[in-house]
Structure 1
Amino acid sequence: MKLENSTCKKELVLQSQSHKIRAAVFEQGELMEVFEEEGGSSHLVGNIYRGRVENVLPGMQAAFVDIGLDKNAFLYVGDAVPSRFEDDEKNSPVLQDRIEHILKPRQELVVQINKEPVGAKGARISVNLTLPGRYVVLLPQVSYIGISRKIQDDHERERLRDLAEKAKPEGMGVIIRTLAEGIDGEEIAEDIAQLTEMWRTLQPRIPHVSVPGLVHKDVDLVSRLLRDWIDQDVEKITVDQEDVARTLRQALMEIEHPAAKRIFVVSDEDLFVKYGVDDGIRKALRSKVWLKSGGYLVIQQTEALIVIDVNTGKYVGQRSLEETVVHTNLEAAREIGRQLRLRNLGGIIVIDFIDMTSKEDQQQVIEALESACSKDRTKSQVLGLTQLGLVEMTRKKVGQTLAVRYTSPCPACDGSGRTYMIEK
């Protein structure tokens, strides 16, 4: 779905429906991502809990922890110990010890959700707590400074590192977020100070929370959009509630964001219908995706593997077969980047582009795919061609897929899409 006559780099649409808030992100008029939150309770990542270890599984080097949700949360050994970093550039702890030496059944823990529950799997948790702000993430339990890998200028990285070193409290750490690029030291220091105050207010309350129980809840959808999504590319925001517009204007004026003057209220229309969001979601739930040229993609998903097939379809080109193939593959690469974000697909992704004999053409398509994924906030990596000529890539699993949020398995076929012609 593409908005007509839209020239905005990035545009947000927020719609309130009874107890639900829905948000859509458009880039150059194309629908890229959709979020929703019902009753303020559907988002769990970032929440902090007191929990109790139920099972320790040495064979899996993991434990299951009761934090008060429907399913016990999953705690991997690498997330069960305080982080120790190998060097200043790696935001990954050094693996140490075995799970049975760290945890015992009935042991009480303070943990934070870092991955939403998906399907039959419970939430994934960590004992390493973080408090995210707009420009930094505070690490209250470890002294460390990290810089977002998306900030590539060496001078800017050094500037931000110096600012963080001066502003962070003794014994605590910070990770500088991508949004901090080009931001002055005063704003970054203020962000760190606010998060530090939040932690110092939160810490004394922890022992008084019952087990299992919620210690700290992450902010609501509107606040998360302000914190995580409204970057310098956002040029326009449309909402259907004046109070939401007022909140956004005030917050954006405080950080001198130009979009504060481009917040529009449209209260007499269904914004998701007006902007074609629901229609875009319906199309993204189909396995076949048509390209503008007449080619198409077929996207099939399993729990850990996504398979995408590229076809020329109705597109026959004009000059040669080679030109037709390259044109289709380049268009497909750009659309695949969008579909991965819109559907929120994660895991191992294998793409069967139409065969190309030229190494230059193959590299051009891979670069187009990398470019299409470069603005994705969720970490992805294009690994290149396999021996079979397939393109392999990965995308981190974050939250629930669009299919999980908007569909349920068919009771007749158990979600396979096919029904039996013989009695079960």
Structure 2
Amino acid sequence: MEEQGNFLVTRLSVHGKERVVSAYYENGHAAELSCLSSGAGSLLGNIYVGKVKNILSNINAAFIEIADGVLCYYSLADGEAPLYASPGRHARLAAGDELLVQVSREAVKTKAPTVSCNLNFAGKYLVLTTGKRKLGISSRLDQAERQRLRQLAEPFLQEDLGIIVRTNAAGAGEAELKEELSRLTALARQTIETGRNQVCFSLIYREPPVYAARIRSLPQSRLSKIITDDRIIYEELSSYLSEYQPEDLNKLQLYEQEAPSLNSLYGIAGALEEALRERVWLKSGGYLVIQPTEALTVIDVNTGKYQGRKKQQDTFFKINKEAAAEIARQLRLRNLSGIIIADFIDMEAQEDQKELMDYLASELKHDPVKTTLVDMTALGLVEITRKKTQKSLFEQVYSD
């Protein structure tokens, strides 16, 4: 397999149901997987004219209805300025008010979807935001590049729109940024104007299919090919790229060989099956046990079949270090989010513990989703948090 990244989209039968499976492969191995019901659209990123159902002052939140019977959680603590679809009848948000909201997080487990009044319009290089005139630069970029992009983007700021410069903007020129900003600004203005003239529960803006929208967030410096073996998906991807990322249209390929199939060539079904297993074997003979629960995800590290001849503490450190790299990979692969607790094998030396934490932190930096290594507790449990946006792979397969 190529050293570059390949993004694959195909249809597979998963547990007797047809699914659209997308997979991003880096260095020949699956780095990200998504498995969605065929024909089912995601709410994430969609913008609606919603109606405030009720205000819950005790938790400083509200529930906003975006469709008949579809309630979403809205935090009042963020101090967002509502975009009213009709003139607000109160100085503060009240039941019955109609406003433009965007789904910022899908329903996760038993929790309702989350909506925001700060609308985001994402491109390959930039994200345009309503509500605050603020410029943000990806923290993943080095200081020199952050400064260069800040100088380029600051003149683009508008009175009522903010800009977030994404990691993919590294190396982008002024013309590229300006062209994308112009398109995003036109989309934002049109969406807001349309929303103020629509009835309650109207869908004002529909986010592109998940597998198409995912392309803009992939590391563009490594993305080599976008491949699908489905003609309909190919046309959707072609349409999306033509409109939003024409410079990447030449990466799109329709795989038409009957044998081997795209699935067989890359082992997509096998990668999906492995990513749903509770146990993950390590090359050393140790293994991880990954158990999602209602409140958090627990990952246990075990010595397993390890046959090393080194001292016991050296053995534990070697397995833990291998486990740290695999944990970082599994979080991204399975889209695990929220609170993650990793129980590594106990190590006596504090320097070994520190080296392990430093190594884990460096591995987590490769994750495009915001992931924070919190600390190691007195009991030796490592706390990690990962931003929630979409359902985990397990939930996609078993709850849809």
User: TM-score, structure 2 length as denominator?
Assistant: 0.87
1:387 and 2:382 are equivalent in the alignment? no
| Partner SS, residue 165 of structure 1 | helix
From 200, 213, 229, the counterpart of 2:189: 200
> CA separation in 2, counterparts of 1:39 and 1:284?
20
Alignment of 1:132-211 (within 5 A): 132-153=122-143, 155-211=144-200
Task: Report the more deviating stretch, 105-114 or 278-287.
Answer: 278-287
How far 1:101 moved relative to its partner? 7.3
The 1:113–1:408 alpha-carbon spacing in structure 2 relative to 1, beyond 3 Å, is: closer
From 230, 233, 238, the counterpart of 2:222: 233
| Partner SS, residue 70 of structure 2 | coil
How far 1:376 moved relative to its partner? 1.1
User: For residues 314-339 of structure 1, what are the alpha-carbon distances to aligned partners after superposition, in whole Å with 9 as ceiling and x for unaligned?
Assistant: 00212221221111111111111111
| Partner SS, residue 208 of structure 1 | coil
Name the aligned partner's letter for residue 156 of structure 2: A
The 1:112–1:168 alpha-carbon spacing in structure 2 relative to 1, beyond 3 Å, is: same
> CA separation in 2, counterparts of 1:186 and 1:40?
37
User: TM-score, structure 1 length as denominator?
Assistant: 0.83
Task: Report the more deviating stretch, 197-206 or 397-406.
Answer: 197-206
Residue number in structure 2 paired with 1:115: 105
Residue number in structure 2 paired with 1:14: 9
Name the aligned partner's letter for residue 47 of structure 1: N
Alignment of 1:11-160 (within 5 A): 11-16=6-11, 21-38=20-37, 41-68=40-67, 70-79=69-78, 81-82=80-81, 102-153=92-143, 155-160=144-149
> CA separation in 1, counterparts of 2:189 and 2:399?
43
1:330 and 2:325 are equivalent in the alignment? no
Task: Report the more deviating stretch, 74-83 or 348-357.
Answer: 74-83
| Partner SS, residue 158 of structure 1 | helix
Percent identity of the aligned residues?
Answer: 36
> CA separation in 1, counterparts of 2:281 and 2:275?
11
8 Å contact kept, 1:252–1:260:
no
8 Å contact kept, 2:34–2:393:
no
Task: Report the more deviating stretch, 259-268 or 359-368.
Answer: 259-268
> CA separation in 1, counterparts of 2:326 and 2:172?
32
The 1:140–1:236 alpha-carbon spacing in structure 2 relative to 1, beyond 3 Å, is: same
The 1:8–1:69 alpha-carbon spacing in structure 2 relative to 1, beyond 3 Å, is: farther
How far 1:392 moved relative to its partner? 1.4
Superposition CA RMSD, Å: 2.8
From 209, 231, 254, the counterpart of 1:220: 209
The 1:212–1:251 alpha-carbon spacing in structure 2 relative to 1, beyond 3 Å, is: closer
From 371, 378, 381, the counterpart of 2:362: 371
8 Å contact kept, 1:53–1:64:
yes
Residue number in structure 1 paired with 2:389: 398
How far 1:227 moved relative to its partner? 1.7
Structure 2 gaps of 5+ residues are 83-89
8 Å contact kept, 1:79–1:128:
no
Residue number in structure 2 paired with 1:412: none
How far 1:40 moved relative to its partner? 5.4
How far 1:47 moved relative to its partner? 0.8
How far 1:277 moved relative to its partner? 2.1
8 Å contact kept, 2:255–2:262:
no
User: For residues 265-318 of structure 1, what are the alpha-carbon distances to aligned partners after superposition, in whole Å with 9 as ceiling and x for unaligned?
Assistant: 244254334422222222222222111221111112222222111111000212
User: For residues 143-166 of structure 1, what are the alpha-carbon distances to aligned partners after superposition, in whole Å with 9 as ceiling and x for unaligned?
Assistant: 11111111132x322221121122
> CA separation in 1, counterparts of 2:77 and 2:279?
39
The 1:348–1:120 alpha-carbon spacing in structure 2 relative to 1, beyond 3 Å, is: closer
Alignment of 1:274-313 (within 5 A): 274-313=265-304
> CA separation in 1, counterparts of 2:204 and 2:338?
31
Residue number in structure 2 paired with 1:3: none
> CA separation in 1, counterparts of 2:149 and 2:95?
43
> CA separation in 1, counterparts of 2:41 and 2:138?
28
The 1:308–1:217 alpha-carbon spacing in structure 2 relative to 1, beyond 3 Å, is: same
> CA separation in 1, counterparts of 2:116 and 2:68?
15
How far 1:396 moved relative to its partner? 1.3
The 1:403–1:129 alpha-carbon spacing in structure 2 relative to 1, beyond 3 Å, is: same
How far 1:53 moved relative to its partner? 0.9
8 Å contact kept, 2:121–2:127:
yes
| Partner SS, residue 212 of structure 1 | coil
Residue number in structure 2 paired with 1:88: none
Task: Report the more deviating stretch, 188-197 or 389-398.
Answer: 389-398
How far 1:373 moved relative to its partner? 1.6
Residue number in structure 2 paired with 1:95: none
| Partner SS, residue 182 of structure 1 | coil
> CA separation in 2, counterparts of 1:281 and 1:307?
20
Higher strand share: 2
8 Å contact kept, 1:15–1:23:
yes
| Partner SS, residue 305 of structure 2 | coil
How far 1:36 moved relative to its partner? 4.0
Structure 1 gaps of 5+ residues are 1-5, 84-99, 410-424
